Chain A
Amino acid sequence: MKHRTFFWFILPSLAAMFFFIALPIVSVAVQSLFVEHEQIMTEVENCGPFKCETVLQVDTEATAALQEEAPLGRFNGLGTYTNRKHLAFKEVGVAWDETETLGEFMSELINLPFYKALFFTLTYTAVVTPFVIFLGLGVALAVNTLPRIVKGPTIFVSLLPMIVTPLIGALILFWMVDADGIIGATLQRIFNDPNLSLKASTPLTWMMLIVYGIWSSTPFSFIVFYAGLQTVPSETLEAAKIDGASRWQAIRYVVVPYMMPLVVFITLMQLMDNFRVFEPIISFSASAKATSLSWIIFNDLRGGDIQLFGSAGATSILTILGVAILLSPVLIRTWRDFNRKRA
């Protein structure tokens, strides 16, 4: 394709990406550098159905005047990034100075909201991603060997977790693991412990969230691998068979190397998706035991009556940085491969 044609071809998507992705990110980054104006407060008497009392109230006129002058608020630089709700430099420093063992320091660190969320987010990502890849490949290989007549229905059923809306899927599972639900009650019978509750214990909640994550993401990797399997050259497979390769060897030495680009692709997608884990935490009401970076953003905007846009912006930017760091090894590798092939 000529460069000119290519440019016109890609212009609509470029424009959409610029307006709907790049600009909002810039806007979020800018907002994260600002905090609200100082609220000018006056003492007023409030009366309601129950009693009258003198309280502080925001002086809206004076505050509106400040707002008019600088609509973005006060410039705070990276102050929001380093406060207790985010990287908490000061608190981490104090914890480092005051604790003696690494274990104590870690427990102090986990007590800070950002690190607590990061801890779960990273665990979730690190466990779910490999499971999704291996399970997806396994299911794809299994489905591929099925007779033609049952293939269609099996594929449909295997895709169900992806078809179900994530929030609904998680809610269904949440009700099933309830002490009165089918899974919860069965587990209580198996372990003969009437107080066993998946929602009450932190490790079990984490497991539940991770299992849900694997369940809901596996179909995606399955369908990608399944499509990939259709393109594996049958000559190579037959040649391997003639050479006496077992089925396992054929998979290990023919299929898997052939599908490597797909593995890289799914790893990238899964790292990004899992790092932004959110829906299960809401549906499982798990925020007391597991929080993620996305949940922190949600909580800043929707948790209370006052929305903290600066905080939410800072966490968003930190999430983007986190994703970039996670993806960098894979990206660097891909880039090297690409250069090697070109050379």
Chain B
Amino acid sequence: MSLMKSFATGAVAALMATAAYAECEISSGNVNVLANDFPALKAITETAAECASGGATVSANHNKDFRNITVQALTPNPAEYTSVVVANSSIVPLLNEGLLRPLDDLVAKHGQGIPKNQLITIDGKIMAIAFMANAQHLFLRQDILDQIGKPAPATWEEVAETAQAIKDAGIMDHPFAFLSMSDWNLGEEFVNMYLGHGGEFFKPGTAEPAINNELGVATLNMLKELVALSNPDFLTYNTATVVPIWKSGDLAIAQLWGSSGGELLSGEGAEEGVAENTVLVGAPTVAGGSTPASSLWWDGFTIAKNISDEDAEATFLAMMHGISDKMVEANNDAAVWLMDSYTPGLAAAGVAQTAAAGAEPYPMLPYMGLLHQAVFEELPDFLQGNESAEKTLADIEAAYVAAAQEAGYL
């Protein structure tokens, strides 16, 4: 019976897929997409692949390390890929090298319906079409908060207090976690917390660093207070580490990417009672500020400069089909989509609240990546208690300056 059932479902799916083919037909051209590797992006490229029925070729390469090869892949003429799916930070190297094609003509011709908030414009030219938003925000275990009788924390100070209360009540030894692995992740936590304090990363109009100040010290002290409530292994914690710990029920409060929400709410592979009690709320504020201590991210597609106009048009059409309403409806909970047809579900609550509370977008500056890197190279020394906050901030600035001089920004 169940076999028959799955067979029938398969047949229906196949029929629907065939029907869908008719919606997008591109007669010629090559479409080759380079993208990060997570389910939401795969949903897009798989939908875009339907456009191959008309004679065009559509292929995609999903790779976690995609950002390391984007520049090399788009530099030759013709470029290796016709489109790269980027985010705030990974678009920067491509812009620096001038490897992206302005999309104004294509948008005028085929993309009239795209809402303005999806257009990423730089100096008046459309350089990317954004389709999803992401941000780090709080994940809470309602049952544990009820147990100690505390409300959902709205500030980082309250997070520390609540976590301490959970610890004192003997419920968990390490109730809190965030993505504090000593790589890009830790840099992102600093960026979030510093934005929450209202800090500026650079002296206005220059690439000179400006983080060695009171706000920087406050940021570092807050991070140190939080890691004390996290597992001593915190310097090895990334999404892949924290998500399973959450599922096993050993965490009460965590700051994770919104894109983990769908998985954690679905309860797949989780202990009983964990998923039901998982609540997603916006990122907290800090130090009496009003901006959430988090940064907003978008993911969007770009089109390579060094390809023929024909391929560019085919790519644009295929990617537009990839982010069409049909894809959104089929994958509504896979991400926080920016398209109008998206119905925000529970998994989107955290990102939506964070954005609504006015969180800052991650700075799209050519030299931001260098500062981000300098932060995670030098910050572990402070978090492990080896040196003072001022010394660490001075080290971060010195490391950044050396790198920025080499890269030609200073």
A contacts, CB < 8 Å to B: 35-39, 41-51, 55-58, 60-61, 63-64, 73-74, 76, 80, 83-85, 91, 111, 113, 178-179, 194-195, 197, 199-202, 285, 287-289, 299, 301-308, 310-311
Contact = CB atoms under 8 A, between A and B. Distances in A.
Contact of B407 (A111, A194, A308): A308
A48 B361 contact: yes
Contact of A48 (B68, B298, B376, B409): B298
Contact of A308 (B65, B231, B406): B406
Contact of B181 (A48, A285, A307, A310): A285
A302 B93 CA distance: 13
B288 interface: no
B184 interface: yes
Nearest to B407: A36
Contacts, number: 170
B133 A83 contact: no
Interface stretch (B55-63, B118-126, B269-277): B118-126
A39 B206 CA distance: 12
Interface string B73-111: 000000000000000111011011110000000000000
Given A84-B398, A85-B406, 14 more contacts: A39-B366, A39-B409, A45-B123, A55-B363, A57-B122, A57-B123, A91-B398, A289-B380, A301-B68, A302-B65, A305-B90, A305-B92, A305-B93, A305-B369
B235 A285 contact: yes
A36 B123 CA distance: 24
Contacts of B296: 49-50
Contact of B233 (A39, A197, A305): A197
A58 to B, nearest CB: 5
A79 to B, nearest CB: 9
Contacts of B405: 35, 83
Given A35-B406, A288-B235, A48 B387 contact: no
6 contacts: A50-B360, A57-B122, A63-B96, A111-B395, A285-B181, A305-B90
Given A39-B408, A84-B399, A49 B173 contact: no
Contacts of B119: 47
Contacts of A44: 122-123
Given A55-B363, A55-B365, A37 B235 contact: no
Contacts of A49: 117-118, 120, 130, 133, 296, 298, 338
Given A44-B123, A49-B298, A56-B365, A200 B232 contact: yes
A111 B92 contact: no
B355 interface: yes
Interface residues of B, number: 69
A91 to B, nearest CB: 8
A291 B320 CA distance: 45
Interface string B330-368: 000000001000000000000000010000110111110
A311 B403 contact: yes
A60 B102 CA distance: 13
Contact of A51 (B88, B206, B361, B409): B361
A321 B398 CA distance: 26
A91 B234 CA distance: 30
Given A35-B406, A197-B232, A304-B369, A50 B355 contact: yes
B18 interface: no
B197 interface: no
B142 interface: no
Interface in B243-291: none
A194 B167 CA distance: 14
A54 to B, nearest CB: 9
Interface of B: 65, 67-68, 71, 88-90, 92-93, 95-98, 117-124, 130, 133, 173, 181-184, 205-207, 231-236, 296, 298, 338, 355, 360-361, 363-367, 369-370, 372-373, 376-377, 380-381, 384, 387, 395, 398-399, 401-403, 405-409
Shortest 6 CB-CB distances between A and B: which pairs? A60-B98, A305-B369, A200-B232, A288-B380, A288-B182, A44-B123
A199 B235 contact: yes
Contacts of B182: 285, 287-288
B122 A285 contact: no
Contacts of B403: 85, 306, 308, 311
Max chain B Cβ within 10 angstroms of own Cβ: one of A49, A200, A285: A49
B11 to A, nearest CB: 39
A175 to B, nearest CB: 11
Contacts of A51: 361
A80 B232 CA distance: 36
Max chain B Cβ within 10 angstroms of own Cβ: one of A36, A48, A51, A63: A48
A239 to B, nearest CB: 57
B96 A285 contact: no
Nearest to A303: B373
Nearest to A311: B406
B130 A195 contact: no
B364 A36 contact: no
Given A47-B119, A49-B338, A50-B296, A302 B402 contact: no
B233 A200 contact: yes
A270 B96 CA distance: 42
A37 B409 CA distance: 9
A60 B366 contact: no
B97 A60 contact: yes
B405 to A, nearest CB: 7
A235 to B, nearest CB: 57
Contacts of B398: 84, 91
A340 to B, nearest CB: 49
Nearest to B121: A47
Nearest to A66: B408
Contacts of A306: 93, 96, 367, 369-370, 373, 403, 407
A252 B120 CA distance: 74
Contacts of B369: 304-306
A56 B205 contact: yes
A38 to B, nearest CB: 5
Contacts of B355: 50
Nearest to B186: A288
Contacts of A43: 205
B173 A57 contact: no
B237 to A, nearest CB: 9
A288 B67 CA distance: 23
A289 B384 CA distance: 9
B399 A179 contact: no
Nearest to A48: B120
